[in-house]
Amino acid sequence: MRNLVRYAAPLAMVWLTLVGCDTLFTEQPPAGEDFESPLDGLDPETARMFAKGDENFEHVFSVDEGVGPIFNNMSCGGCHPGDGRGTPNEALVRFSMGTDLVPELGGPQLQDRAIPGSQPETLPPGADRSLRLPPPVFGVGFIEAIPVTTILANADETDTDLDSISGRPNWVTAPDFVPPTEVGGGPGLQLGRFGRKANVSSLIQQVSEAYHQDMGVTSDFLPTENENPQAGGVAVGDDVADPEIPALTVLETVVYVRFLSPPAQGERTDQVKRGEQLFEAAACASCHVPSMKTGPHAIAALNQVDVPLYSDLLLHDMGPGLADNRPDGSADGYEWKTAPLWGTRIIEDFLNGQVFFLHDGRATSIREAIQMHGGEAQPSRDNFMNLSPQEQDDLIAFIESL
Amino acid sequence: MKIATAALLLLVATAASADDERPFVPGGIYDKPFILQVGEGAKFGGYADAQYRYERADGFVSEQSFILERINLFAFAALSERVRLAAELEFEDGGEEVKIELAIVDFEIHQRLTFRAGILLSPLGRFNLTHDSPAQYLVDRPLVSTRLIPTTFSEPGMGFLGAFYPTTNSRVTYEAYLVNGLDDGILSDRTFIPGGKSNFEDNNNHPSFVGRLEVSPFPSGEIAVSAHTGPYNEWEEEGVKIDERRDVTIVTIDGEYRFRSLAFLGEYARDFVDIPEGFVGLFAEKQQGIYLEGRVDFLRGLFKEMPNSFFAGAVRYDYVDFDTDREGDDHTRLTLGLGFRPVPATVFKLDYHYNWLNDRFNIAGREAGVVFGVATYF
């Protein structure tokens, strides 16, 4: 038995050494190197809702839980890997007949999947089709916290300053289920902030419709099943009682995305600093406004802080090359909301080493994305193309540092 | 029918049976230490598996807990020279889950032909047949045997098994059964074969087949192939076709070689699942996985008070690809284990494992942990 003690003591020490060793027991990724971290300073109740929302975001709905009958994906995380942007494989298809959104044919969103026993939607012959890459979901709390007046200060609908940039807001009507106390809720026209065409004014609407339209999951906010008019408008196959999730689940998910922290800018090297100056000089910053300030907010991290999102959140005519020729709210077929550039630095870490830019992911590099800018952005694009190769590299290095 | 009868007679009549001491499956249902015997009849036994787990994922503690993983009770009765009964009852999660893991009646017509019926242990890979915790050198079961092959995988069914002896030292065994099969629980939130087990009634009125063929060229080694195939969904309701029939097929290859105090073993499995059209691209149609394990026994009888004691070391490599059509969606694990057996039926195990995971978008994650387990037959 003395031998047992003799051997047990070193074993116990080995174990304690193992437990105390971070390398052997995995280390946390460096702060700010992901899209999934919460903002600092959440109170315990908000933090609990954030954690629940995180679970909701990754939850994969089964047929028994109510996915479908027609749908695009089965979880939030199925379209937004790592809470970042998706790839063309996860892109949604919006369709219309010219300016007609054809709800009688299943428009405006094509739900091209169906549970067994149901029929998926197909693109009607002759329909205009617009692919929509899933956007990143971090930082939307900051976007929500920017006062309307701050956003409108950058609007110049008639180009009164003659700089060829004429950003304008997308005024939309909020659904009745969005409380007036929510940003973007209430009667009358509201400023659109979310979506590729800024066609959604509130996070509750964005999240509720994602559950409803993308996953076919009904909630207290949208309790009626999404039917396929092409199959006679009957929601067959989904036997789960509606609503399939309570309002609380939606609200938890809203809290989750609202308080996801955007990654900070990377190292500001000399090249990055040169690129930043060129970014300003090429007038890229006219639309990709480097920063806007939030208004008063109960959460300290969102309270009157500068938001370096590199977007004015306004609509701009991006020319015929990028036009999808279909309206969205008051946005026409040529207009797109300026895409925020924050988080560009680590996009590829969450897309298997690839990057996809523009509304449909057609650009696979920053350079391609710039080259595809047209319309109001044509002068900035030309400015970029007139830079020397080294200067172009510097400007791209700056964007890739964000 | 005449052909079948002739084949049966030929099977039974030809060649003398070997005088073989080997169990049908080493560590299998007829190779357990039964502790209690009641008179001349039934024998009883069981095993328990308790663990302490400390695991971290990407730098935060994902689990720290004491667990009574399972307690199993088993019984065996030789009702006559040719009729045997074996049963095993499993209690998991502190008794929240109780299930009959095994309840079979064997009727040995001949060494080459035994009829078996009841709730069978599916002969799908060797690990499923020999999964008892005290028999294992590492605390956790192989990934391929839990994520692809749903160990413990038992199903109601019936069929035949038997053994052939081509030469004095070699042996060929087979098992072939019709069983209820899996159900569409395999497609809950991802393709997950274990989600479709535990069907004590057939959900689609069409049996599945499971079989295994093992070749042992010499007493210290075996290699085997197994397969499980059949429909998993309901496609008819009261004679009306309501869906397409969809099948699932799992194929495994396993082997073990023992040399003195060393043993090498492993198992490979690949599954093929028919996916509903609306789920193609979201659910995997093909998965595969493998484990390779090396074991060594040492310091036998080190302690005078425990002459049958020995230490045991093990290292295992695990890999499972949850969707062979995607880059990512995989799990690799390396496990190092040290065990001590004061008596052969009882083991204390200390494992360290490190895991490399990639999700469906090939986003990497890391997990690691130490697990201390105590498992014993009783």
State which amino acid sits at residue A150.
T
**CA of A97 to nearest chain B CA: how many angstroms apart?**
25
Rg (CA), chain B: 22
In the block, residue with structure tokens 């069978």: B120
* Closest-approach residue (CA) in chain B for A60: B189
Phi, psi of B312 (to 5 degrees): -145, 135
pLDDT at residue B259 is higher than 90 = yes
Separation of CA A261 from chain center: 13
**CA atoms of A283 and A373, how far apart (whole Å):** 13
- Chain A residue numbers touching B190 (CB-CB < 8 A): 60
- The mean pLDDT of B108-125, rounded to a whole number, is 96
**CA atoms of B257 and B266, how far apart (whole Å):** 10
- Chain B residue numbers touching A117 (CB-CB < 8 A): 242-243
- Give the count of beta carbons closer than 10 Å to the beta carbon of residue B3: 7
Reported as a pLDDT band with limits 50, 70 and 90, residue B12 is very low
Reported as a pLDDT band with limits 50, 70 and 90, residue A7 is low
**CA of B311 to nearest chain A CA: how many angstroms apart?**
11
Reported as a pLDDT band with limits 50, 70 and 90, residue B354 is very high
Reported as a pLDDT band with limits 50, 70 and 90, residue B9 is very low
**CA atoms of B172 and B20, how far apart (whole Å):** 12
- The mean pLDDT of B197-222, rounded to a whole number, is 94
Query: Do the Cβ atoms of B278 and A11 come within 8 Å?
Result: no
Query: Do the Cβ atoms of A15 and B281 come within 8 Å?
Result: no
**CA atoms of B250 and B193, how far apart (whole Å):** 9
Residue-by-residue DSSP string for A62-83: PGGGT--SEES-SSSTTTSGGG
Query: Do the Cβ atoms of B361 and A114 come within 8 Å?
Result: no
* Closest-approach residue (CA) in chain B for A86: B361
pLDDT at residue B130 is higher than 70 = yes
Cα distances (Å, whole numbers) of residue A237 to A72, A115, A329, B191, B362:
16, 7, 32, 20, 32
Residue-by-residue DSSP string for A88-138: GGG-EEEEEBTTB--GGGT-SEE--EE-TTS----PPTT-EEEEEPPPP-T
- Chain A residue numbers touching B354 (CB-CB < 8 A): 24
- Chain B residue numbers touching A81 (CB-CB < 8 A): 359-361, 363
Sign of the Cα pseudo-torsion (A273, A277, A283, A287, in order): positive
**CA of B161 to nearest chain A CA: how many angstroms apart?**
38
Query: Do the Cβ atoms of A27 and B54 come within 8 Å?
Result: no
Residue of B53, B246, B279 best to disrupt the A interface, most CBs of A under 10 A: B279
pLDDT at residue B15 is higher than 60 = no
Query: Do the Cβ atoms of A26 and B366 come within 8 Å?
Result: yes
Q: Which percentage of chain A shows pLDDT scores above 90?
A: 74
Total tally of structural domains belonging to chain A: 1
Q: Where are the beta strands (DSSP E) in A97-255?
A: 109-110, 113-114, 128-132, 171-173, 189-191
Q: What is the pLDDT of residue B321?
A: 98
Q: What DSSP designation does A38 have?
A: B
In the block, residue with structure tokens 């890739």: A400
**Host domain of residue A332:** 270-399
Q: What is the pLDDT of residue A235?
A: 65
Q: What is the pLDDT of residue B312?
A: 97
**CA of B90 to nearest chain A CA: how many angstroms apart?**
28
- Chain A residue numbers touching B359 (CB-CB < 8 A): 81
**CA atoms of A185 and A183, how far apart (whole Å):** 6
Between A62, A74, A351, which is nearest B361 by CB?
A: A351
Query: Do the Cβ atoms of A15 and B359 come within 8 Å?
Result: no
Between A1, A24, A352, which is nearest B368 by CB?
A: A24
Structure-block tokens of residue B114: 């035994």
B294-343: per-residue pLDDT in tens?
999 999 999 989 999 999 999 999 999 999 999 999 999 999 999 999 99
- Chain A residue numbers touching B352 (CB-CB < 8 A): 18, 24
**CA of B167 to nearest chain A CA: how many angstroms apart?**
46
Structure-block tokens of residue A381: 């694009």
* Closest-approach residue (CA) in chain A for B355: A26
Helix A270-281 to helix A389-399 angle (10° resolution) is 100
A116-164: per-residue pLDDT in tens?
888 999 999 999 889 999 999 999 999 999 999 999 999 998 888 888 8
A369-383: per-residue pLDDT in tens?
999 999 999 999 999
Burial of A372 (0-12, 13-18, 19+ CB in 10 A): middle
Between A15, A64, A116, which is nearest B276 by CB?
A: A116
Which CATH number is A324's domain given? Answer: 1.10.760.10
**CA atoms of A242 and A217, how far apart (whole Å):** 9
Burial of B222 (0-12, 13-18, 19+ CB in 10 A): buried
Q: Which percentage of chain A shows pLDDT scores above 70?
A: 94
Phi, psi of B5 (to 5 degrees): -65, -45
A-B contacts at Cβ under 8 angstroms:
83
Are residues B210 and B227 in contact, defined by beta-carbon separation less than 8 angstroms?
yes
- The mean pLDDT of A194-221, rounded to a whole number, is 96
Phi, psi of A343 (to 5 degrees): 85, -5
Question: CA torsion, points A11, A13, A15, A16, in degrees to nearest 10?
Answer: 160
Q: Where are the beta strands (DSSP E) in A295-392?
A: 306-307, 315-317, 335-337
Sign of the Cα pseudo-torsion (A390, A395, A396, A402, in order): positive
Q: What is the pLDDT of residue A19?
A: 61
Query: Do the Cβ atoms of B338 and A11 come within 8 Å?
Result: yes
Phi, psi of A10 (to 5 degrees): -60, -35
Between B57, B188, B352, which is nearest A18 by CB?
A: B352
**CA atoms of B190 and B195, how far apart (whole Å):** 9
**Upper half-sphere CA count for residue A272 (Cβ side, 13 Å):** 11
pLDDT at residue B150 is higher than 80 = yes
Q: Which percentage of chain B shows pLDDT scores above 70?
A: 94
**CA of A152 to nearest chain B CA: how many angstroms apart?**
38
**CA atoms of A39 and A299, how far apart (whole Å):** 9
Cα distances (Å, whole numbers) of residue B313 to A231, B150, B299:
62, 26, 11
Asked whether residue A180 is domain-assigned, the answer is no
**Nearest Cα residue to B276 out of B229, B237, B233, B326:** B233
Residue-by-residue DSSP string for B309-372: -EEEEEEEEEEEES-TTSS--EEEEEEEEEEEEEETTEEEEEEEEEEEEE-TT--EEEEEEEEE
**CA of A228 to nearest chain B CA: how many angstroms apart?**
14
Structure-block tokens of residue B90: 């499993």
Asked whether residue A207 is domain-assigned, the answer is no
* Closest-approach residue (CA) in chain A for B56: A25
Between B277, B303, B367, which is nearest A1 by CB?
A: B303
- Ranges of each domain in chain B: 47-69+136-377
- The mean pLDDT of B56-71, rounded to a whole number, is 90
Query: Do the Cβ atoms of A68 and B281 come within 8 Å?
Result: no
**CA of A397 to nearest chain B CA: how many angstroms apart?**
24
Between A15, A28, A60, which is nearest B59 by CB?
A: A28
- Give the count of beta carbons closer than 10 Å to the beta carbon of residue B89: 16
A46-99: per-residue pLDDT in tens?
999 999 999 999 999 999 999 989 999 999 999 999 888 888 989 999 999 988
pLDDT at residue A335 is higher than 90 = yes
Between B354, B361, B366, which is nearest A81 by CB?
A: B361
Asked whether residue A342 is domain-assigned, the answer is yes
Reported as a pLDDT band with limits 50, 70 and 90, residue A4 is low
Q: Which residues of B lie inside 8 Å of A (Cβ-Cβ)?
A: 54, 56-60, 187-190, 233, 242-243, 276-279, 281-282, 302-303, 305, 327-328, 338, 350, 352, 354, 359-363, 366-370, 372
Q: What is the pLDDT of residue B161?
A: 97
What pTM does this model have? Answer: 0.89
**CA of B296 to nearest chain A CA: how many angstroms apart?**
18
ipTM: 0.86
**CA of A280 to nearest chain B CA: how many angstroms apart?**
34
Reported as a pLDDT band with limits 50, 70 and 90, residue B38 is confident
Cα distances (Å, whole numbers) of residue A84 to A343, A355, B362:
9, 11, 13
* Closest-approach residue (CA) in chain A for B367: A26
Residue of A3, A26, A35 best to disrupt the B interface, most CBs of B under 10 A: A26
In the block, residue with structure tokens 């085997």: B224
Structure-block tokens of residue A28: 């946390």
Residue A218, preceding peptide bond in cis (omega within 30° of 0): no
For B47-69+136-377, CATH number? 2.40.160
Residue A162 Ramachandran class (φ > 0 left, ψ -120 to 50 alpha, else beta): left
**CA of B47 to nearest chain A CA: how many angstroms apart?**
25
Interior/surface letters A37-62, b for 16+ CB within 10 angstroms, e for the rest: bbbeebeeebeebbebbbebbebbbb
- Chain A residue numbers touching B276 (CB-CB < 8 A): 115-116
**CA atoms of A303 and A145, how far apart (whole Å):** 8
pLDDT at residue A255 is higher than 50 = yes
Reported as a pLDDT band with limits 50, 70 and 90, residue A17 is low
Query: Do the Cβ atoms of B56 and A113 come within 8 Å?
Result: no
